[in-house]
Amino acid sequence: MPTDNKRIAGPEDSISYRLFKETSNESVLSKINNLKNNIRSDGRKTNEQRKIFLKCGVVSQAKGSAYFEVDNTKLIVSVYDPREIPKKTDYSLKGELFCIFKYAPFSCPNRRGHQQDAEEKQHSAIMKRALESAVCRHEFPNFQVDVYVLVLENDGSALSGAITAAGIALAQAGIPMYDTITSATLAIQGSTKLLDPTLEEEALCTIATHKSDTETGYDSHGIIVLAILSTHEQISEFYQLGNLNLDTLNESISILMNATKEIVPLVEKCLVDYVNKTFKANGQS
């Protein structure tokens, strides 16, 4: 993205007051241990996802768009018409997706700049990889489809939400696709696996904790994002961070596979509803 000098940048150095809270090894452990009876702070079970709200056709200018909301994670995806790949010299047989993932400046506890930072760039790349295998790219050679994601509010699992929503937006835009694409996030701390984590839970799981000296054994921690084409059972993206062993990964794959399957009917219903609505509207006119 080109630098936008006219936009007012935030103050050069600012520190969120939240950072002055005490976070220590013990506090992380105690928070995790509080979950022992599998009930999280918001009353969910560890393997329960938050309620998802989906709607497509929210941006009238865009060819396809979707709004995704789980509790306090809210994001908008818009998809624009295919256009010729700019500044491309050689002919490419397959079309490309161009993804931009952006947190709104006010979406996180810390203010985000209006330019993409490294994390946002990486998320864009992950989205691109995940979505490209869902789209019939051979049907629009030498074209690119732009997918823009704006996270309005981030309370965890924004990336997987963005992938699911982008799948809907692409479908609504009439881009040929092999399958619906759904995605879910799993956060792991020790033996606790939290499906669809909130921002706080995500933060808990990026910290490596030391177990008490009496317990030998290994403390795994990490975050996994999985995107899947459900009917073909093809994993189009698997992205893991942290420090995990093979068994934990294998278990997590199963959990995530089930979670993504739960979302599929929602996605389908959202699209069917949209079609019905337009159909009715057209019939009336």
* Binding stretches for another protein (CB under 8 A): 15, 19, 118, 121-122, 125-126, 128-129, 132-133, 206-208, 218, 220-222, 224, 229, 232-246, 249-250, 253, 257
Kindly tell me which of 133 and 273 has the beta carbon lying closer to another protein. Answer: 133
> What is the residue-wise DSSP string for 173-225?
TT--BSS-EEEEEEEEETTEEEES--HHHHHHHHS--PPPTT--S---EEEEE
Q: β-strand 143-153 against 96-103: which pairing, if any? A: parallel
Q: How far is the CB of 246 from another protein (least distance, A)?
A: 5
Give whichever of 76 and 188 is closer to another protein, judged by the CB atom: 188
Q: What DSSP designation does 138 have?
A: G
Q: How far is the CB of 36 from another protein (least distance, A)?
A: 24
Taking the C-alpha atoms of residue 240 and residue 105, their distance in angstroms, rounded to an integer, is 26
Nearer to another protein (CB atom), residue 208 or residue 266 = 208
Q: Tokens 């993804």 label which residue?
A: 99
Pairing of strands 83-84, 143-153: antiparallel
b/e 34-57 (16+ beta carbons within 10 angstroms → b): ebeeeebeeebebebbbebebbbb
6 or 210: whose CB is closer to another protein? 210
Measured from the CB of residue 43, what is the shortest distance to another protein in angstroms?
A: 28
To another protein, the closest distance from the beta carbon of 277 in angstroms equals 31
Nearer to another protein, 88 or 277 (CB): 88
Nearest to 51 by CA among 226, 262, 192, 223: 262
CB of 59 to another protein, least distance (A): 26
d(CA 138, CA 130): 16
Spatial separation of the C-alpha atoms in residues 56 and 179, rounded to whole Å? 17
Taking the complex as a whole, the smallest distance from the CB of residue 94 to another protein amounts, in Å, to 9
Taking the complex as a whole, the smallest distance from the CB of residue 73 to another protein amounts, in Å, to 21
Q: How far, in Å, CA of 263 to CA of 95, rounded?
A: 27
Cβ distance to another protein smaller for residue 56 or 224:
224
Nearer to another protein, 65 or 164 (CB): 164
- Residue 116 contacts residue 3 (beta carbons within 8 Å): no
